[in-house]
Chain A
Amino acid sequence: MTEFILILFSAALVNNIIVLGIVGADPALAFMRRMDVATGLCLTMLVLLPLVAVAGYLIDTWLLLPLQLDYLQLLVFVSTIILITLLLKKYSRFLNQKLDARINVFLPFAGINTAVLGIMLLNLEFSNTFLKSLAFGIGTALGFSLVLLLMTAAVERLEVADVPSPFKGLPIILISLALISMAFMGFSGLILH
């Protein structure tokens, strides 16, 4: 159990995908304008990422390895993502009405997000078991939404700040993201993965 929490913690804080700039930074930038849009995307990520991580693990261990088809890995992963997104879009109504209303709009955006494919590939790299990949999925989703919510609230303040004209808009957001990543470096070495 502690293994589960450790991975979850490390995926959310220590090597947070946006902060270490691995994947998922660009879509987060696009959604930093308004709070309700950002929370919507975070909810979608929280639903989608664990599913995709687990699906990736299952397909990899049961389908590709026994049939030595791991060269098809990328193609199959992309198609599973699309499959899951469409399934969710169609059948999330039965899951729960309120959640469906919130995440339905964002599902296509979340589907094509670099973070999703990045998760599946990173999963293989760390050669996780089933439980570990689930923890990794949830942890990454939490990390993604943490940084996204922080930045969305900050953007509202940055727009009013007397930023010198060449830096107004996206540059100052990127600088803030850089400073946040610098702060997250404090967590490095926290959990020796």
Chain B
Amino acid sequence: MIGILIILIFAIAIALLLNSSRSQTPEQDKLVDRVDALLPQTQCGQCGYPGCKPYADAIMHNQADINQCPPGGRNTIRKLANLLGREIKPLNPVHGKEGPKKIAYIDEDICIGCVKCIKACPVDAIAGAPKLMHTVITEECTGCELCVAPCPVDCISMLVYVQGGRRVKLEAPMRVTV
């Protein structure tokens, strides 16, 4: 009889404490920002989420895996794995292939100035006005390819971005012999 009483007291004490404890700790939101800071911010949606912030939330709540971001590629996956202490996995091919950075290019003589691509561009990298010429600002463009689809006359093509006039290859040692 006393045993039951004791267990009851413990249970009540724990219940009281449980409902008065704090909800999501501030720690949680700060981490989401830190995850978001690692993503390439192309807002391209290739990871299946409408933009980088939603993808960061999904990662935080374990709904999304850390290898769904082709623009970020191996580098972002490694950084996310280090931050969250998870296994480094190769990029998931379902979401696309990792390739060199691409920049949109509007072919001036076909463009009819319909402003559809300006609306589609998530980072306002296309300058232009209705019925006037549109051009892509190369520094601002993140290569998310969202402007290619809405263009009625298909005048936007994705070109490989050449840095400072010469293509810098990272891993090329001077002469690799066998």
* Chain A interfacial positions (CB closer than 8 Å to B): 33-34, 37, 63, 67, 69, 72, 75-76, 79-80, 82-83, 86-87, 89-90, 104-105, 169
Contacts and interface: CB of A to CB of B under 8 A. Distances in A.
A57 to B, nearest CB: 17
Interface stretch (B7-15, B33-41, B50-58, B138-146): B7-15
Secondary structure at the A interface, as helix, strand, loop or mixed, is helix
A89 B14 CA distance: 12
Interface residues of B, number: 17
Contacts of A89: 21
B14 A75 contact: no
Contact of B13 (A83, A104, A105): A83
B20 interface: yes
30 contacts: A33-B85, A37-B85, A63-B6, A67-B2, A67-B3, A69-B2, A69-B3, A69-B6, A72-B3, A72-B6, A72-B7, A75-B7, A76-B10, A79-B11, A79-B14, A80-B10, A83-B10, A83-B13, A83-B14, A83-B17, A86-B17, A86-B21, A89-B21, A90-B17, A90-B20, A90-B21, A104-B25, A105-B25, A105-B27, A169-B87
Given A63-B6, A79-B10, A105-B27, A86 B18 contact: yes
Contacts of A72: 3, 6-7
B85 A34 contact: yes
Nearest to B11: A79
Given A34-B85, A76-B10, A86-B17, 13 more contacts: A34-B82, A37-B85, A63-B6, A67-B3, A72-B6, A72-B7, A76-B6, A80-B10, A83-B14, A86-B14, A86-B18, A87-B17, A89-B21
Contacts of A169: 87
A76 B17 contact: no
A37 B83 CA distance: 10
Contacts of A76: 6-7, 10
B6 A82 contact: no
A138 B80 CA distance: 35
B35 to A, nearest CB: 15
Contacts of B11: 79
A105 B10 CA distance: 24
A37 B82 CA distance: 12
Contacts of B7: 72, 75-76, 79
| Chain A to chain B: the 9 pairs with minimum beta-carbon distance, closest first | A33-B85, A79-B10, A86-B17, A69-B3, A72-B3, A105-B27, A67-B2, A82-B14, A83-B13
A67 B4 CA distance: 12
Interface in B59-89: 82, 85, 87
Nearest to B4: A72
Nearest to A85: B17
A186 B11 CA distance: 45
Contacts of B17: 83, 86-87, 90
Nearest to A33: B85
Contacts of A37: 85
A10 to B, nearest CB: 32
Nearest to A30: B85
A72 B82 CA distance: 44
Contacts of B21: 86, 89-90
Contacts of A86: 14, 17-18, 21
A75 B12 CA distance: 14
A29 B20 CA distance: 32
